[in-house]
Structure 1
Amino acid sequence: MTIRAAANGIDIAYESFGSPTGRPLLLVMGLGAQLIQWDEGFCRLLAEQGHHVVRFDNRDAGLSTHFHDHGVPAMGSPAPYLLDDLADDTAGLMDALGWPAAHIVGASMGGMIAQTLAIRHPERVLTLTSIMSTPGPAIAPPTQAASAVLMSRPATDREAVLAQAVLTWSTIGSPGYELDREKIAERAGLAYDRCFDPAGTARQLAAISASGDRTERLAAVRVPTLVLHGEADPLVPLAGGRATAAAIPGARLVTYPGMGHDLPQALWPDFVAEISKLTSV
C-alpha cells in the first residue's frame, strides 16, 4: 500500500515491507525512477533478513510532489533544487516514519542522495550502501551509447514509452545477464500509469549537474560503508564506484563482472547478503 507523508515541506509517497520492529532500511532510487524500480521481490528478500524496508518516490517522481512550475530547466539556468534538497527530503521522510536513524541504500542518483545524506545528516545514517553511483558526474562519464539514450527525446505515448524503456535498458543494462524485455516493458507501463513526467526527470538531472563533486566532503563520513558496482556499467562506469570507495574512509568495494547499470535478479541474493552483513554489525 502506498502512503503519502509530509516531509521537508513536500509530500513523499512510500511503501514498506517487513516487520516495523526490524532494522530500518531506506531504499533511495535513481534518476527519473519510481519506487517500483526497487522490485518487490528484492524488497522482500531484504525484509526476510530482518529489515523493515521502505522504498519511496523522490521529489519529481511517481506520486511524490512534482515541481511543475519550474518546467524543464534551460541550459545554464539555475537548477530548481539540489541533491542537498533530495537528501533533506529523505531525512524528512525518516522523521515521518519515526526513524531517528536508518540503514541507507541508494542506487545511481539514489547513491548520490545517500552520500549527500551521510554528509549533511551523519547522525541519521547507521550504514551507507552506494550502488552503481559516483561522488561526481565528471569522475565517471557515460559511454557515448549510454549518453545518447540518457539524453534522447522522451517518448510521449504509452506504447512508445514502453519501447523506449526496452531500448534504454538494452543499452545500459547488464550484458552478462539475460535481459527480461517483458518485465522491463511491464514495469515501464506501471510507471507510466502511476505518473508520467519527463520534465521531472530533467529537473532531477539538473540537480545532479548543479550539485558538484562530493569527494572532499565524503572524507568526513564515518559510517560503515559498502560500495556495489558493475564492472560493465556504461552509464556510471566502474571508476565511479572506485572513487566512492576511495573517498569514504574504510569503505568496502564489491564489483560484479557482467553487471551494467541495473540490478540483475541473479545477483539479488548476493546484494542482500552483502547489505545484511553490513547492517548486522
Structure 2
Amino acid sequence: MNDFMLPETHYAQSGEVSIAYQVMGDGPIDMVVVPGLFSHIEYMHEMTGYTAFLRRLSAFARVVTFDKRGQGLSDRISGAPSLEQRMDDVRAIMDTIGSRRAVLMGFSEGCAMSALFAATYPERISHLILMSGFARSAARVSEDTWQTRLEQLVKNWGSGELIKTVSPSQASMPEAVARFAKFERLSSSPGAIRTILSLNRQIDVRGILPTLQVPTLVLHRRSDIQVPIALGRELAEPIPGARFIEYPDGDHVFWTGDTETVAGDIEEFVTGHRDSGADELERVLATVLFTDIVDSTRSAVAMGDQRWRRTLDEHDQLAQQVIGRHRGNLIKSTGDGILATFDGPGRAVRCALAFGSAVRQIGLPVRAGLHTGEIEVRGKDIGGIAVHAAARVMGHCGSDEVLVSRVVTDLVAGAGLKFADRGSHELKGLPGHWDLFAASL
C-alpha cells in the first residue's frame, strides 16, 4: 500500500480526545471533509472510487479527512458526540494543521454539523459544500416506523446490509458487500451506532440556515435512496444565495457513479474553473488483473487475527515480487486481493498463474480474472470499463482458477498458454455475452 502514497494517519487533540485525521495533497486551498454516519479513514481507501475521488480534489486543494470522536481510529467515548463537540473537533484539526480558513464539505449526516460550523465560525470557512444531506434528521423516517427501522439497522450492523440503500449500484457484488460489512464493523459497534442514531434523530438545523453568510453549494442525486432528494432541496432552499445541483442518477455515497462531474462542480465552485481532472486523465491499452482470496472471512476466523495478518502480509509481499518479475504494475491491494496492470497480456496470464501457485504454498487459495482493454489512468489510480470487466470475470472464477476474456486469448495466440472453454456469460452491468476461458501452462 505504501507504493501508492496513501496518506498517513495523524491525531489532533480536542480537549482530552484524540481525533484521527489524514491529509492528501498540498494545494493552496484547504478542504475539510466531514464524514457521514460512520467512517474509518484508513479502511475507506479500500472502497472502490474513494481514494480516486480524494486525489481528484487534491489536485487543487489540501484535502483533510477525519473520524469523528467515538468512531474509526479516533478515541472511543461513552455516549454520542454532540454537534458542539463535533465542531470542536473540526476546529482542533484545522488548528493542528495550521489552517486558518478552509472549504468545509459535509457529507450526509455531516451536513448539519457543517452548516452549523459555517454559521458559527464564518471567518474560518471560505466555502460550504453540502452533499447528500438533510437539515432535519427526523424527516427521513416517520415516527411510526422509526423504532422498527432503528432495531433492524442495529440487528444487521456489520453484515453489509446497509449497502442496499447507501450504494445500491454495488449491492449485487459479493466482494463489495463483504468490504462494506467490514467497513461497518471497523467504524463502529452496534451499540455505538444505536446511540448516535438516537441522538441524530433530534438534529434540526433549519433555524440557522438563513443565517449562513458563506458561499454554499448543495449537491444531491435524484436516485439517492438513503436521503431522498426532497430533503436536499429542503436543505438548500433557506440558505441565502445557495447553488443547488441535482444529478440524475448515482448512489448516496459520493465516491461512486459520475464522480468526475461532481468533483468538477466542486472545483469550479471553489476555484472558478474546472480543468484539473482533464489534465491528469490518460487512456491506455492494458491487461487488467484482479485477484481475490477464496473464503477469506472463513480463513481469517480459523487462523485468528495475528496469524491472519501475518498471512496477508506474506500475500502482499508475494504479489509485489511476482508482479515485479512479470513487469507488471501493482495498482493496489484490495484487502484480500490485488489489482494490477500489464502492457503484455501473455505476461499478465503467466503472472496470475505464478501468483496462484505462490500463495498456495502459504495456504491461500485465490481466484483471478483478466481482461484487456482501454483504461483511464489518473495518477496512481485506474478506472474504465476494462477494470470493471476484469472484476466481473474474476467473479465467475472457482478456487485456484484463472479466468480470462476472449480478447485475452486472441492476443496471446502462439505464446504457449492453454485455455479451456468455460462458456458464455452475462457480466453484470456490461453489454452482451462474454466468452470466458480458464488459463493454464
TM over 0.5: yes
What SS class does the counterpart of residue 210 from structure 1 fall into? Answer: coil
Separation (CA, whole Å) in 2 of partners of 1:244 and 1:59: 25
> Is residue 26 of structure 1 aligned with residue 32 of structure 2?
yes
SS of 1:133's equivalent in the other structure is: coil
Q: Tell me which residue corresponds to 2:130.
A: 130
Aligned counterparts, 1:1-281, within 5 A: 1-19=8-26, 21-35=27-41, 36-37=43-44, 39-48=50-59, 50-68=60-78, 70=79, 80-141=80-141, 151-152=151-152, 154=154, 161=158, 164-165=159-160, 167-174=161-168, 177=169, 179=171, 180-189=173-182, 192=185, 194=186, 196-211=188-203, 213-263=204-254, 265-281=256-272
Q: CA deviation at 1:102?
A: 0.6
Distance 2:238 2:106 in 1: 17
Post-superposition offset of 1:83: 1.7
Whichever residue aligns with residue 182 of structure 1, its letter is: E
The alpha-carbon deviation at position 124 of structure 1 amounts to 1.5
Q: What percent identity do the matched residue pairs reach?
A: 26
The answer (yes or no) to whether the contact 2:251–2:257 under 8 Å persists in 1 is no
CA RMSD, Structure 1 to Structure 2 (Å): 2.8
Deviation at 1:263, TM superposition (A): 2.5
Whether the 8 Å CA contact 1:172–1:261 is kept in 2: the answer is: yes
Give the 3 Å change call, closer, same or farther, for CA 155–228 of structure 1 in structure 2. same
Kept in 1, the 8 Å contact 2:9–2:21? The answer is yes
Give 1:261 deviation, angstroms: 2.0
Structure 1 residue runs of 4 or more that deviate by more than 6 Å after TM superposition: 144-149
Give, in whole Å, the separation in 1 of the partners of 2:28 and 2:134. Answer: 29
8 Å Cα contact 1:147-1:235 kept in structure 2: no
Change (3 A) 1:118 1:256: same
CA shift for structure 1 position 23 = 0.9
**Contact 1:62–1:191 (CA<8 Å) still a contact in 2?**
no
- Decide which structure has greater strand share: 2
User: Amino acid of the residue matched to residue 29 of structure 1?
Assistant: P
Instruction: Give the aligned length.
Output: 259
Tell me if the contact between 1:141 and 1:237 (Cα under 8 Å) persists in the aligned partners: no
Amino acid in structure 1 at the alignment position of 2:270: T
CA drift at 1:238: 0.9
Letter in structure 1 aligned against 2:63: V
How far apart are residue 145 of structure 1 and its match?
9.9
**Residue 238 and residue 189 in structure 1: after superposition, are their counterparts in 2 closer, same or farther (change >3 A)?**
same
Confirm or deny: 8 A CA contact 1:128 1:225 kept in the other structure.
yes
Q: Any idea what SS the aligned residue of 2:112 has?
A: helix
Indicate conservation of the 8 Å contact 1:126/1:224, yes or no. yes
Contact 1:12/1:64 (CA < 8 Å) preserved in 2? Answer: yes
Where does the alignment leave 5 or more consecutive residues of structure 2 unmatched?
1-7, 273-441
Once residues 132 and 98 of structure 2 are traced to their aligned partners in structure 1, the CA distance between those partners, rounded to angstroms, is: 29
Q: Structure 2 CA distance, aligned partners of 1:207 and 1:98?
A: 31
Alignment TM-score, normalising by the size of structure 2: 0.53
Q: State the Cα distance separating 1:190 from its structure 2 match.
A: 5.2
